[in-house]
Amino acid sequence: MTNKTTKISGSEAVVKSLIAESVSTVFGYPGGAIMPVYDALYDYQEKLKHILVRHEQGATHAAQGYARVSGKVGVCIATSGPGATNLITGIADAQIDSTPMVCITGQVNSHLLGTDAFQETDVVGISMPVTKWNVQVTKAEDIAPAIAKAFYIAKSGRPGPVLVDITKDAQFGEVDFNYVKCTLISSYVPAPKVDVKKIIEAADLINTAKRPYILFGQGVLLAEAKKEFKAFIEKSGIPAAWTIMGLSALETDHPLNVGMLGMHGNYGPNLLTNECDVLIAIGMRFDDRVTGDLSGYAKQAKVIHLEIDPAEINKNVQTEIAVLGNCKESLQLLTEVVSPSTHPEWLAKFNACKQKELETVGENELTPSTDVMSMGEVIKLVSDKSTDDTIVVTDVGQHQMVTQRFYNYKSWRTNVTSGGLGTMGFCLPAAFGAKIAKPNQQVVAVIGDGGFQMTIQELGTIFQTKADIKILILNNEFLGMVRQWQQLFFDKRYSSTEMVNPDFQTIAKGYHIEANKVEKREDLANAVELFLNHKGSYLLEVMVGKENNVFPMVETGASVSEIRLS
């Protein structure tokens, strides 16, 4: 809260409000309706750094990457009309993946609203289904309160994206500026109070379980519950599997980490879901990629759900005991009352499944018998040669699933990916945002040849800012995941999935980014060493099998018990 009231323009109020919220970096693209804010930014460059992206979608994904690794609110700015609508994909991605983000858009003058003025679009109406909250501001005096409310809503409870649309006349107007942070909104309860009775009930169920099983999601990361979660699983001795958004909440090689859930997750975590007697879901939402056919999902188990959002309780899976609240608090309380235990026979079943998977899928991926390189062997090599705190950002597709299974994540908040929306093009700008948030950590962007070309223009942002990002393209000359489905379920009718790609090295060098291409296995190890140790950004393209498939796999509509290894 500032102590002095000062009369300033609405546009300057936007900038000073962001600074009051401790924002140091914003990602954006200027235009007519937001130009007053950009003019105000000019005088605050030392306090508030603006990074010019090459497309507004890139601004949202950069803000997401920034938020995901820092735990702070990501901020992006765009103009009205096409600038605002170009934000929508990233906003929708942030909404379903619970990423805190504040988007500020310019709008035409208030007297022109509804007249179809040049670059007028109802971005509030368009974004309403994919934001946690949005608002249109038409008066300068409402700017600071709107932004204060936006930050509070974006970060509190279950995080999400918020949009503030500001008319041009509000930006030009004058206001007595006195910023007051928002800490309370009537009728808005960000985190329900933990019911201790439910904690006791959950502990009683866990203490008598013979085959308990933990499924953990991003809620553990969002709650900053690293110590509490680890203490709980280690005291209870319960095997734990992760959703793709929960990855990096627990180190991959922890003895109780049994692997990845979901359609392309590990064999044991899926199969044994239907053998546990108590299922403990922590900060995850039972989406269809995890559950498969709900009619055949964990019907034998009593479900305990630790969740901050009441809307997720019983939405997809019926819960025996719902423990509402922030899981940092509920896990600490639960750990105090659960009995110390181990489940060696139950854990052995997971290990047996892991061994079976390694003998089939793992051998094909990690030690291929052909001359053609696999995605798995490339990722394993990068993992072995990377530092423990390397941040790995993935796009969407086969490479995403392979990376999350074969990369050994050892540090907190080092996995950044598009989960619920599955947005191709997410990776490159998100990796940039992650690097801005954590400049002293290595950032590796793992991308397919298809997704790379969706936001390839952000190489310009990387070049202009001299960011040090390692870009790994796993090139199979196909839209790989779609092609896999066409092979398995559409009689190999490869309709519009084969890619005729440009020369990625030439493009990278046009942006003054060093690049290399590997086509033979004997060249891979040295290429990866150079890639990771190069000072400055570097692009490494590795040619992998064109028709390699990603297994295990749970087919759409199938039960998790029907997971395929081939």
Q: Clarify whether residues 173 and 200 are in a common domain.
A: no
3-state secondary structure 524-546: HHHHHHHHHHCCCCEEEEEECCC
Q: Are 470 and 386 in contact (CB under 8 A)?
A: no
Two structure tokens written together for 309: 């959002």
Output the domain CATH number for residue 297. 3.40.50.1220
Domain assignment present for 549: no
Domain assignment present for 158: yes
Domain assignment present for 361: no
Secondary structure letter of residue 361 according to DSSP: I
Domain assignment present for 362: no
Catalytic: 218? no
Q: Which of 168, 328, 438, 470 is catalytic?
A: 168
Partners of residue 6 on adjacent β-strands: 177
Output the domain CATH number for residue 58. 3.40.50.970
Rg of the chain over CA atoms, in angstroms?
24
Q: Which of 12, 56, 228, 477 is catalytic?
A: 56
| pTM for this model (two decimals) | 0.96
Find where tokens 């323009």 sit. Answer: 9
pLDDT on residue 1:
46
Q: Clarify whether residues 423 and 467 are in a common domain.
A: yes
Q: Clarify whether residues 323 and 414 are in a common domain.
A: no
pLDDT on residue 363:
80
Domain assignment present for 279: yes
Catalytic: 56? yes
Q: Which of 119, 441, 457, 505 is catalytic?
A: 119
pLDDT on residue 364:
82
pLDDT on residue 4:
61
Q: Which of 101, 373, 375, 481 is catalytic?
A: 481
Domain assignment present for 366: no
pLDDT on residue 5:
67
Q: Clarify whether residues 386 and 321 are in a common domain.
A: no
Of residues 132, 144, 135, 182, the one with CA closest to residue 19: 144
Catalytic: 64? no
Contacts of 547 (CB under 8 A, 6+ apart): 476, 478, 483, 487
Q: Clarify whether residues 256 and 137 are in a common domain.
A: no
In angstroms, rounded to a whole number, what is the distance separating the alpha carbons of residues 137 and 168?
Answer: 10
Catalytic: 284? no
Q: Clarify whether residues 315 and 246 are in a common domain.
A: yes
Domain assignment present for 182: no
Q: Clarify whether residues 496 and 438 are in a common domain.
A: yes
At 246, the amino acid letter reads: G
Q: Are strands 133-137 and 101-107 parallel, antiparallel or unpaired?
A: unpaired
Output the CA torsion 529→531→532→538 (10° steps): 170
Q: Are 373 and 544 in contact (CB under 8 A)?
A: yes
Query: What number of other Cβ atoms are within 10 A of residue 197's Cβ?
Result: 10
Two structure tokens written together for 335: 């750990």
Catalytic: 119? yes
Q: Taking the alpha carbons of 434, 84, 134, 25 in that order, is the dihedral positive or negative?
A: positive
Find where tokens 């793709």 sit. Answer: 244
Chunked into runs of 10 residues, the chain (566 residues) has average pLDDT values of: 73 98 98 98 97 98 98 98 98 98 98 95 98 98 98 98 98 96 95 97 98 98 97 98 97 96 96 98 96 96 98 97 98 98 97 94 86 96 97 98 96 97 98 98 98 98 97 98 96 97 98 98 98 98 96 94 93
Q: Clarify whether residues 34 and 148 are in a common domain.
A: yes
Partners of residue 162 on adjacent β-strands: 102, 133
Q: Clarify whether residues 17 and 124 are in a common domain.
A: yes
Residue range(s) defining the domain that contains residue 100: 6-177
Q: Clarify whether residues 438 and 534 are in a common domain.
A: yes
Q: Clarify whether residues 447 and 486 are in a common domain.
A: yes
Q: Clarify whether residues 340 and 220 are in a common domain.
A: yes
Partners of residue 543 on adjacent β-strands: 475
Residue-by-residue DSSP string for 320-343: SEEEES-HHHHHHHHHHHSPP---
Number of compact structural domains in the chain = 3
Element (H or E) spanning 27, and its range?
strand 25-28
Domain assignment present for 382: yes
